[in-house]
Amino acid sequence: MSIGVFDSGVGGLTVFKSIADRFKTVDIYYVGDTARVPYGNKSRDTIVKYSLELTEFLVKSFAVDLVVVACNTASSYALDFLKNRYNIPIIGVVEPGCIAAINATKNGKIGVIGTQATINSNSYANTLSALTGGGVRVYQKGCPLLVPLVEEGKIEHPVTKIILKEYLDGIVSEGIDTLILGCTHYPVLKDVINSIYPELNLVDSSVAIIDYIHKLNLDLNEKGLRNLFVTDESVSFENLKKLIIGDIPTFKVNLDSIELK
């Protein structure tokens, strides 16, 4: 059995790493849509179309048994569509992140940060409310500058700290005790966020998703192959890949061959 993972680009490698570390013998196929990233400022229709194309690529080319939508933006807009379309399990990162946040919060005040599209979708706020019957207060903030900063490798940079404070001071002052990192790139910023706001519980969906995979009870014994594909060659993909998972080779898949006309 094998797991397919897709993302708009490199950030989903945080999810890939978490799965690869936990399920050492499973075969994992990852595709990052580096030709069309970012998804975080695109419309619902476009995000659903791209997500469908990447899922088709994983299912048709490798007959994966499970698809993990590592991208928060794609999880927010395309998960239900994909679940209805395929008869294999498709899991996204929103619900696992919400469950982990509900388990972590003591005062019921949860912050959510993500791309503007993820925040506009209200996916986290709606899921948190549905899971708790409205029992938690949710404070959301779109943080569009964080993805480019991470892609530029500006992780510990003073500019990143200033931008983080600009985005987070408002919701932190509302008294949140838990913050959902609702974007693939944000786990890379965990230490920096922690250094500014040491009192916050940070919820990383790439960790939360592992329980979900366990619950599926799949027979995950395989050769432990790690296969990475991108839709375009990208220097920032290669640089961040090395930071997140080390030097696994990347193969290019032609966008023409996955586009559904």
Member of 4, 11, 111, 142 binding ligand DGL (CB under 6 A): 11
Does 246 belong to an annotated binding site?
no
Mind telling me the catalytic residues?
Answer: 71, 183
Burial class of residue 32 in the structure, from the number of CB atoms within 10 Å of its CB (0-12 exposed, 13-18 middle, 19+ buried): buried
Residue number, 14 or 65, with CB nearest to ligand DGL: 14
Contacts of the segment 220-223: beta carbons below 8 A, 24+ positions apart: 220/1, 220/3, 220/23, 220/25, 220/26, 221/1, 221/25, 221/26, 222/1, 222/2, 222/25, 222/26, 222/27, 223/25, 223/27
CB of 245 closer than 8 Å to CB of 17: yes
Q: Is 40 in the site for ligand DGL (CB under 6 A)?
A: yes
Q: How far is the CB of 178 from ligand DGL (least distance, A)?
A: 19
Q: Is 92 in the site for ligand DGL (CB under 6 A)?
A: no
Q: Is 32 in the site for ligand DGL (CB under 6 A)?
A: no
Member of 3, 28, 68, 71 binding ligand DGL (CB under 6 A): 71
Measured CA angle at 236 (ends 143, 47), to 5 deg: 55
Q: How far is the CB of 118 from ligand DGL (least distance, A)?
A: 5
Interface mask (CB under 6 A) for ligand DGL, residues 155-194, using x and -?
Answer: ----------------------------xxx---------
- Give CA–CA dist 200/208, Å, rounded: 17
Select the span of 110-118, 129-137, 187-195, 218-226 touching ligand DGL (CB under 6 A).
110-118
Residue 255 tokens, joined? 């966008």
**Binding-site annotation: residue ranges for substrate:** 7-8, 39-40, 72-73, 184-185
